[in-house]
A and B are shown apart, each in its own frame.
Chain A
């Protein structure tokens, strides 16, 4: 305990020393300098009171709202290159143009509203600049209440502001980042169907770990946000609905993605995968009430070109019969022969029509903002409803957010935030069988009732009524799969200005999520009746709760001393995450109206519950120093303890240092074209603590399966692992930023090299220690890459403007070291191997089809052709990681019209699509499920035929087994968002009493292109996701007054 006290004392001292030393100095807290352009004459603080003013100079003092002088305000004459900046007392002196001419003086300062003053004869002009709480694009929100101008930035932080995401779908806040941020990839976590609510995985600069979480840390308004377990799986519920769906994207002021050590070290234990800071909107002081209303109507439809293509009924019948006879069975025993119950030969059902249709979205929100001198408020309410393109699947969200700021005195301020979100997910889990259900079956009986059985011929038992489990239509109509979540957040933050430049804050945040789940399998479905045809419904009820609380105490310091500027931050953070669930189920329910648990068969009752808690405690410090807006230095440190780790490794230390150099502010730098040239570098460490909590102490498994002599027994589940500790990622980042042509073109290039050591992985240790794999700190892994981001105003005339934002990044992942150098596999198709990418495929090389007999062929390890599949012939090969990823947004505006489109792309890398493996099976078990159209068109039928699809057979050979046959280049281009907006001209909106009115037509997921796409056939395009891509067109109205 002594140690912690000492650290606390130390932090307090560090912060208090500069306070005492410089208490007499004047300066302005929370203000940052925008430097003067290098070609402008630099005025070195000639005191205003000296009386040595030249006659043709305009002089004055610039102050803030409270009359305090502002240092470093840029003052220039509009349309010229003449400019100066204010000195320590806020004074300026600028040479005026010739007598009698009138001209405009511009006063610019970060965080304030720019003022323009038309001058004709005045020689002394004192100006007061108003605070601008509205975020300027150049202000980057950082960790723990820090704000930096882009020019002052040392690390790698990329910010997306509200404007950039305005036309994105209002469903969730993670996948809207796709293509917007260099080095960030947001993808579905599977290309198969595994849940009615797909989980996304977000990767910042590649995956830094093997077995721990690779997800970034989400921080919303300063507080870590629980997004589920290591793969975003929610604890204790059947289907994970990400908490990122529970937020209204319209409330977001900015999203900042922190990527390098300078920025993430302060988040310590969970910064290794990057940090995403979300800042929500708030009210502004001294503004009258403004009301903004938004309404969006959308219709959506599946993009049929991305739908996986299966055989139709006649194609299926032809191939199935051929596969049946090729397998050596007599056609007389073919299962699907017409009978009085099923007329197979005349049935042709397109099952996708049964399940997929037109969806709709509705979004409405009302936002009220106002502020007085002492307080400000922001109130927003919204409703969102999405009817999926999968019929009977609806989600609804109601949100209410209130943010208030109140100044008790001139130095004490309270921030409060209260928000509630009610979410109703009425889900229909359409399983993969929607693809493979046979087109010769139909969903209904001739009388319109559900088809529960099919009459199928079987050579042993003859005609048999067989349950039609693949018919999901009765389940769609009658089953219940409903999840309701209430999320409430309360946040209180007390801020005190202790002395100038030093602010103390105490923040306390509680977030509680409660999820209730109802699931019911109806007696109308094949699964809801027993083998005798009697009703046997099954009901499951579950409750899960997630309670998070966070307390943060911190001191922020920022102050100028002449050309020196010193900033700092020190604080402590306590965090607790507690999850619980309770779940019960029963079957044997006789009536769909009796869905409560007590109506089932008592003998089938089951119940389960669980509990999980994690705590962490941290001390952090950040110090920054800059000189003359030219040289910047930063130092970060965080010490963090986590309850998940063992006694000897509970605590870990993380640190980083960074430096940057504004070359354009140097005297020797003279360039008309380049107005900003900045070089930066940072180096430091971050961690990853997100592993399961039982890994340290070991567990015992208890139960009947370990019984002896009829008495219950228990055995070791996982062995104790007291040495288990944090993963440690060392991060190096170096970058250059340039701005040309008065800021019309800005380019930023960054290189990074992240090296994870002590990597946690499940490995085989000596069998004498554990018979199962154990979590251990065993490996090393690296990610290195480059990112380029370009912003360009291609055309900038008054009425017509064209802006392009383009980013592209490359990442290379290498497993540097594994436990004892031994390769490990957790799936049949990939391998972790030293020197290879973590997503390296491990497959047998496919050699095509023998034209003489249609049998599949592979290569063995020596490169010889073989007709026998042997998994021993697998070898590491291509990787799933794309070579280049990125996005481009073009915005064209003409007058009141604006047109914008966004293209996201991946280039290179390979995919092993699940659907290729499932449905290119060359007739294997074709009696049980339909297969891809290629099996019909391309199958081998005659000797000498050159094809890649073997001869079909119900008892097919091993052609479907893991081989390079199923690898697809994952290059793709996605036209993700296209929007056309029209804003009402000012004079019209004014006459209507509106401050603005906008109407937009937006198309999301407009088009997907892959080089291998081919009409009527399958390609990577049809296999990227389990369901076809949903294309949405919406009409959005926004009115403010």
Chain B
């Protein structure tokens, strides 16, 4: 036995063992790769992520969020040559349409929700690390809450029957995600009641976190939170809250209706800074899909005859309605100023006609909220609550602005609440046409869809209720989530 040797030999392995047990060996940093925990390191990263969500939200509003409720409503005529939106226009949406609005409204909506969830999850850590920048961090978190609520609202409106479909709103709503789900979570839809409750909570949280000095209309503000709450409560049939929130927006934030002369500029010029803007999405250097859809020279989508007729019937030759001017366009030839071309029956809400704007800066900023809607919400809510005069007063305000007639001279005749309600709805159509409201106005009020015969759809009338008022849940989602509940219109039933 060679004892000293043995010891020596045993020692050979000790250094290696030491290396092996060093506990951090497998925890390495992947620099150059933006893994999520290392990405959210400071307030700036939160703001960059907020921009990312707004980019997604813009894309959402530049297409599905605005077009879906209009294509399925009664104010739009679809070009016969259009390849997209046909199924929605004719209410034959199929669950397999992954690359159509059926798939995209769901998928893109939840992409917004998921991105927002990342900020909501990592934001508080950043706040703890940068206490002196709390306002900045809170603002980013607030934006995330607001956008999450907004996206959930769009999803629940498209895939679920309206809030009042059942007495207690216990029918199926959307999937509510209060935090980023994990791969192994088995997800399913909750009730409409819970979905709306979550939406209200998200928007309220955003409102609480936002500070008063944040007034950029391209981001969520306190005013935007209240305005969106007004809309959500109207959708929920909570008229007193709706009226209260709308009233608060009208009186508390220094907003005013865009004057008659500036009304078209609000849509057709770049960054007009109109006084009634509450929130609109900044389209700088982003896609212009809506413009392509409503392009006055080669439109895919036209205002329906029903919409044109409403303006036609109400036309006052001495006081033309400024809103009707957004339904036609006249161009003057550059070569010969006397030569003009006139395009009738087109929607000009998404086309910049301002002269002297560089081509790469011709962006329109789609509206999420504007003050006119608040007047309409307050009028509808007050009418339902029995305050007819208050309701009529708001309508007079809007009409006065739209026609230039002094408010006290606006002629508004009604003998009961129903008549006034009808007037309010007609005003709503004239004010908000093709801005992404129509289907939801019909279904939340449990009205029937009635289209004019010339609109070109195979479905001209649809009585409320009807399963086709909502989209099928995409098949890819049902395949991936065994617990996900389909809609009655889905071919897949479980």
A complexed with B: yes
A residues at B contact (CB < 8 Å) = 1, 4-5, 8, 23, 411-412, 494, 496, 498-499, 504, 506, 551, 553, 555, 572, 574, 609-617, 641-643, 650, 693-694, 697-702, 706-717, 719-724, 763-771, 774, 776, 819-820, 822
**Are A5 and B110 neighbours in the complex by a CB distance under 8 Å?**
no
User: Which residues from chain B contact A714 at a C-beta distance below 8 Å?
Assistant: 34, 39, 45, 48-49, 51-52
- Number of interchain pairs (Cβ within 8 Å): 209
**Are A768 and B181 neighbours in the complex by a CB distance under 8 Å?**
yes
Chain B, 80-124, contact with A by CB distance < 8 Å: what is the 0/1 string?
A: 000000000000000000000000001110110111001000000
Contact of B36 among A494, A496, A706, A720 (CB under 8 A): A720
B314 in contact (CB, < 8 A): no
**Are B479 and A712 neighbours in the complex by a CB distance under 8 Å?**
no
8 A-B pairs with the lowest CB-CB distances in the bound complex, closest first: A713-B51, A713-B52, A697-B35, A715-B52, A708-B54, A553-B16, A611-B32, A708-B51
User: Which residues from chain B contact A614 at a C-beta distance below 8 Å?
Assistant: 28
B254 in contact (CB, < 8 A): no
Smallest Cβ distance from B470 to chain A, in angstroms? 17
Contact of B5 among A411, A615, A698 (CB under 8 A): A411
Interface-facing stretch out of B245-253, B411-419, B428-436, B480-488: B480-488
Instruction: Report if A699-B16 is in contact (Cβ < 8 Å); known contacts: A706-B52, A820-B480.
Output: no
Instruction: Report if A551-B19 is in contact (Cβ < 8 Å); known contacts: A496-B9, A767-B107.
Output: yes
**Are B51 and A707 neighbours in the complex by a CB distance under 8 Å?**
yes
Interface-facing stretch out of B183-191, B319-327, B379-387: B183-191
| 5 A-B pairs whose Cβ atoms sit less than 8 Å apart in the complex | A412-B9, A708-B51, A720-B36, A720-B180, A768-B177
Q: In the complex, which of the residues A701, A711, A819 has the most CB atoms of chain B within 10 Å of its own CB atom?
A: A711
In the bound complex, what is the Cα–Cα distance between A613 and B476 (angstroms)? 35
User: Which residues from chain B contact A650 at a C-beta distance below 8 Å?
Assistant: 26
**Are B16 and A715 neighbours in the complex by a CB distance under 8 Å?**
no
Instruction: Report if A572-B20 is in contact (Cβ < 8 Å); known contacts: A613-B28, A650-B26, A768-B187.
Output: yes
**Are A8 and B20 neighbours in the complex by a CB distance under 8 Å?**
yes
B284 in contact (CB, < 8 A): yes
In the bound complex, what is the Cα–Cα distance between A707 and B50 (angstroms)? 10
Instruction: Report if A4-B48 is in contact (Cβ < 8 Å); known contacts: A615-B26, A764-B476, A766-B187.
Output: no
User: Which residues from chain B contact A765 at a C-beta distance below 8 Å?
Assistant: 183, 480-481
Contact of A553 among B17, B49, B53, B177 (CB under 8 A): B17
User: Which residues from chain A contact B5 at a C-beta distance below 8 Å?
Assistant: 411
B262 in contact (CB, < 8 A): no
In the bound complex, what is the Cα–Cα distance between A434 and B22 (angstroms)? 56
In the bound complex, what is the Cα–Cα distance between A702 and B175 (angstroms)? 28
Q: In the complex, which of the residues A616, A707, A774, A822 has the most CB atoms of chain B within 10 Å of its own CB atom?
A: A707
Smallest Cβ distance from A20 to chain B, in angstroms? 11
User: Which residues from chain B contact A643 at a C-beta distance below 8 Å?
Assistant: 26-28
**Are A776 and B33 neighbours in the complex by a CB distance under 8 Å?**
no
**Are B36 and A700 neighbours in the complex by a CB distance under 8 Å?**
yes
User: Which residues from chain A contact B23 at a C-beta distance below 8 Å?
Assistant: 1, 4
User: Which residues from chain B contact A617 at a C-beta distance below 8 Å?
Assistant: 20, 25-26
**Are B33 and A504 neighbours in the complex by a CB distance under 8 Å?**
no
User: Which residues from chain A contact B341 at a C-beta distance below 8 Å?
Assistant: none
Smallest Cβ distance from B403 to chain A, in angstroms? 35
Instruction: Report if A768-B113 is in contact (Cβ < 8 Å); known contacts: A643-B27, A693-B33.
Output: yes
Chain B, 270-309, contact with A by CB distance < 8 Å: what is the 0/1 string?
A: 0000000000001011100000000000000000000000
Residues B182-230 near A (CB distance < 8 A): 182-185, 187, 218
Contact of B480 among A706, A719, A822 (CB under 8 A): A822
B73 in contact (CB, < 8 A): no
**Are A709 and B282 neighbours in the complex by a CB distance under 8 Å?**
yes
**Are B111 and A708 neighbours in the complex by a CB distance under 8 Å?**
no
Instruction: Report if A699-B114 is in contact (Cβ < 8 Å); known contacts: A707-B55, A708-B51, A819-B480.
Output: no
**Are B114 and A769 neighbours in the complex by a CB distance under 8 Å?**
yes
Contact of A709 among B36, B51, B115, B177 (CB under 8 A): B51
User: Which residues from chain B contact A641 at a C-beta distance below 8 Å?
Assistant: 26
**Are A498 and B6 neighbours in the complex by a CB distance under 8 Å?**
yes
Smallest Cβ distance from B149 to chain A, in angstroms? 15
**Are B9 and A504 neighbours in the complex by a CB distance under 8 Å?**
yes
User: Which residues from chain A contact B30 at a C-beta distance below 8 Å?
Assistant: 611-613, 693-694, 697
* Interface residues on chain B, number (Cβ under 8 Å): 68
User: Which residues from chain B contact A612 at a C-beta distance below 8 Å?
Assistant: 30, 32-33
B31 in contact (CB, < 8 A): yes
Smallest Cβ distance from A423 to chain B, in angstroms? 27
In the bound complex, what is the Cα–Cα distance between A717 and B49 (angstroms)? 12
Contact of A1 among B17, B21, B113 (CB under 8 A): B21
Contact of B481 among A706, A708, A766 (CB under 8 A): A766
Instruction: Report if A551-B9 is in contact (Cβ < 8 Å); known contacts: A641-B26, A768-B110.
Output: no
User: Which residues from chain A contact B244 at a C-beta distance below 8 Å?
Assistant: none
User: Which residues from chain B contact A766 at a C-beta distance below 8 Å?
Assistant: 175, 181, 187, 477, 480-481, 484
- The chain B residue sitting closest to A616, CB to CB, is B26
Smallest Cβ distance from B93 to chain A, in angstroms? 16
**Are A572 and B26 neighbours in the complex by a CB distance under 8 Å?**
no
**Are A717 and B17 neighbours in the complex by a CB distance under 8 Å?**
no
Smallest Cβ distance from B112 to chain A, in angstroms? 9
Smallest Cβ distance from A757 to chain B, in angstroms? 16
**Are B19 and A504 neighbours in the complex by a CB distance under 8 Å?**
no
Residues B462-494 near A (CB distance < 8 A): 474, 476-477, 479-482, 484
- The chain B residue sitting closest to A497, CB to CB, is B9
B10 in contact (CB, < 8 A): yes
- The chain B residue sitting closest to A769, CB to CB, is B181
Smallest Cβ distance from B475 to chain A, in angstroms? 9
**Are B34 and A699 neighbours in the complex by a CB distance under 8 Å?**
yes
B37 in contact (CB, < 8 A): yes
Contact of B21 among A8, A709, A716, A769 (CB under 8 A): A8
In the bound complex, what is the Cα–Cα distance between A325 and B118 (angstroms)? 60
Instruction: Report if A572-B16 is in contact (Cβ < 8 Å); known contacts: A411-B5, A611-B32.
Output: yes
**Are B48 and A713 neighbours in the complex by a CB distance under 8 Å?**
yes
In the bound complex, what is the Cα–Cα distance between A714 and B481 (angstroms)? 28
User: Which residues from chain B contact A764 at a C-beta distance below 8 Å?
Assistant: 476, 479-480
User: Which residues from chain A contact B49 at a C-beta distance below 8 Å?
Assistant: 700, 713-715
User: Which residues from chain A contact B180 at a C-beta distance below 8 Å?
Assistant: 719-720
Contact of A722 among B26, B32, B182 (CB under 8 A): B182
B58 in contact (CB, < 8 A): yes
Instruction: Report if A709-B54 is in contact (Cβ < 8 Å); known contacts: A8-B21, A504-B12, A610-B32.
Output: yes
Instruction: Report if A716-B20 is in contact (Cβ < 8 Å); known contacts: A504-B9, A708-B58.
Output: no
Instruction: Report if A706-B35 is in contact (Cβ < 8 Å); known contacts: A494-B12, A764-B480.
Output: no
Instruction: Report if A411-B9 is in contact (Cβ < 8 Å); known contacts: A572-B16, A699-B36.
Output: yes
**Are A721 and B108 neighbours in the complex by a CB distance under 8 Å?**
no
Smallest Cβ distance from B269 to chain A, in angstroms? 17
Chain B, 169-181, contact with A by CB distance < 8 Å: what is the 0/1 string?
A: 0000001010011
In the bound complex, what is the Cα–Cα distance between A700 and B38 (angstroms)? 10
- The chain A residue sitting closest to B57, CB to CB, is A708
**Are A4 and B39 neighbours in the complex by a CB distance under 8 Å?**
no
User: Which residues from chain A contact B33 at a C-beta distance below 8 Å?
Assistant: 611-612, 693-694, 699
In the bound complex, what is the Cα–Cα distance between A724 and B182 (angstroms)? 11
**Are B118 and A716 neighbours in the complex by a CB distance under 8 Å?**
yes
Smallest Cβ distance from A873 to chain B, in angstroms? 15
In the bound complex, what is the Cα–Cα distance between A255 and B169 (angstroms)? 71
Smallest Cβ distance from A12 to chain B, in angstroms? 9
Contact of A701 among B12, B13, B34 (CB under 8 A): B34
Instruction: Report if A506-B482 is in contact (Cβ < 8 Å); known contacts: A1-B23, A768-B175, A771-B107.
Output: no
In the bound complex, what is the Cα–Cα distance between A724 and B482 (angstroms)? 20
- The chain A residue sitting closest to B185, CB to CB, is A769
In the bound complex, what is the Cα–Cα distance between A542 and B108 (angstroms)? 38
**Are B37 and A697 neighbours in the complex by a CB distance under 8 Å?**
yes
In the bound complex, what is the Cα–Cα distance between A771 and B108 (angstroms)? 7
Instruction: Report if A713-B181 is in contact (Cβ < 8 Å); known contacts: A694-B30, A766-B187, A767-B474.
Output: no
B255 in contact (CB, < 8 A): no
- The chain B residue sitting closest to A619, CB to CB, is B20
